[in-house]
Amino acid sequence: MKYVQIIFSPTGGTEKVAKAIAGDWPAADTVDLSVPGADYGKITLQPEDAALIAMPSFGGLAPQLALDRLAAIRGNGARCILVAVYGNRAYEDTLVQMEDAAEKSGFRVIAAVAAVAEHSIMRQYATGRPDGADRDQLAGFGAKIREKLESGGESKPAIPGNRPYKKAGGFGLVPKADSGCDECGLCAKRCPAGAIDPQAPQATDGSRCISCMRCVSLCPRQARKVNSVMVSAAALAIKKACSQYKENELFL
Ligand SMILES: Cc1cc2nc3c(=O)[nH]c(=O)nc-3n(C[C@H](O)[C@H](O)[C@H](O)COP(=O)(O)O)c2cc1C
Ligand code: SF4
Ligand code: SF4
């Protein structure tokens, strides 16, 4: 049995959660779903393989770009674990969307996790998560999942969410660079959506940008910013929902 991690993690929170769950599983191939132009269609698993598929929740849904790239991978009957990571507001229909996409790609879902990580736009929510207690709990989930995999478990748990899914809305948060930008090109190289022109990295193609915040978090000069008035208004709107501590959940 080969383990494969299939991960979309623009700012690293999803990756931290995946590592906490499966960090001590046998060395796995990792498929990074954030590479524009990558040939995901050439990735084929075997029925005896297992995949951990992890994505963040954006607006209570899985990022469409990550679902589209997952759709190109051939699961070929391999079992999979779905991991949705959210910033302490809600993950709503993220896991059921991932379930449908994974099954369409030929995976068999045998477990799912919803876990909290620091909010990648409003970092005042879920700050520092996953923390030490989360990591211990997620490692415990990981051990239970691995036991199920190794004992040949194939049952699918009930996964929360609605069909039809909630309606996707635009976020309208398109980062731009300020005068601190030295045109190093790093943001253009790492943008999952190919929304930044390497020849003119100050601007952003708003029709491609998915507001994932990778460019904001990786700019070495802290030159990329989103409209702070919009972020403050959004933070106020979700303050109540985000202030209550949310537990990680395991569906097995
Ligand atoms: C565009 C966008 C929308 C988001 N929407 C939600 C949401 O609906 N609910 C929530 O709890 N967190 C939301 N978040 C927070 C992320 O799900 C969370 O920070 C996650 O850890 C980001 O993953 P990453 O660090 O791997 O990029 C959103 C973040 C972004 C960038
Ligand atoms: S990473 Fe920052 S400094 Fe480099 S091109 Fe992008 S905005 Fe400019
Ligand atoms: S330009 Fe948009 S899609 Fe690209 S890294 Fe920045 S926020 Fe993400």
4: left (phi > 0), else alpha (psi -120 to 50), else beta?
Answer: beta
pLDDT in tens, 7-48: 999 999 999 999 999 998 887 789 999 999 999 999 999 999
Which of 199, 224, 225, 226 most suits a substitution to test ligand 2, by most atoms within 8 Å of the C-beta?
A: 224
Q: Which residue has the tokens 């929510």?
A: 125
pLDDT of residue 140: 98
Per-residue confidence (pLDDT) for residue 70, from 0 to 100: 98
Q: Where are the domains of the chain?
A: 3-164+244-251, 176-226
What is the position in ligand 3's atom list of the atom closest to the CA of 211?
7
Q: What is the mean pLDDT of residues 138-149?
A: 97
Average pLDDT, stretch 227-248? 94
| 3-class secondary structure, 44 | strand
**Best CATH choice for the domain 176-226 from the list 3.30.70.20, 3.40.630.10, 3.40.50.620, 3.40.50.300:** 3.30.70.20
Mean pLDDT, residues 175-184 taken together: 96
> Measured in angstroms, how far is the CA atom of residue 114 from the centroid of ligand 2?
33
Average pLDDT over residues 237-247: 94
- In percent, how much of the chain has pLDDT > 90? 94
Q: Which bin fits 251, alpha (ψ -120 to 50), beta or left (φ > 0)? A: beta
Distance CA 123, CA 235 (A): 10
Write down the pLDDT at residue 170.
80
Verify whether ligand 1 is closer than 6 Å to residue 175 (CB atom). no
Residue whose CB lies within 8 A of the most ligand 2 atoms, among 176, 181, 196, 214, for a mutation test? 181
Give the nearest ligand 3 atom to 210 CA. 3
Burial of 133 from C-beta contacts in 10 A (0-12 / 13-18 / 19+): exposed
Same fold, 3-164+244-251 and 176-226: no
Instruction: Give the span between the Cα atoms of 93 and 163, in whole angstroms.
Output: 8
- Distance, in Å, from the CA atom of 167 to the CA atom of 232, rounded to the nearest integer, reads 23
Mean pLDDT of 203-219: 97
pLDDT at 171: 79
pLDDT of residue 12: 98
User: Under 8 Å CB-to-CB from 34, ≥6 apart: which residues?
Assistant: 8, 9, 10, 66, 190, 192, 214
The predicted pLDDT at position 24 comes to 86
Question: Of all atoms in ligand 3, which is nearest to the CA of residue 213?
Answer: 7
- Tell me which of 3.40.1360.10, 1.10.10.10, 3.20.20.70, 3.40.50.360 is the CATH number of domain 3-164+244-251: 3.40.50.360
Say whether pTM exceeds 0.75.
yes
Mean of the per-residue pLDDT values for the chain? Answer: 96
More confident residue, 172 or 251: 251
How far is 82 from 164, CA to CA, in rounded Å?
A: 19
Q: Closest Cα to atom 3, ligand 2: which residue?
A: 181
C-beta 169 within 6 A of ligand 2:
no
Q: Note the Cα 166 to chain centre separation in Å.
A: 18
52 Cα–ligand 1 center, Å: 19
Is the pLDDT reported for residue 59 higher than 90? yes
H runs (alpha helix) in the chain: 13-22, 64-72, 94-104, 132-150, 186-190, 214-218, 228-237, 239-243
> What pLDDT sits at residue 1?
86
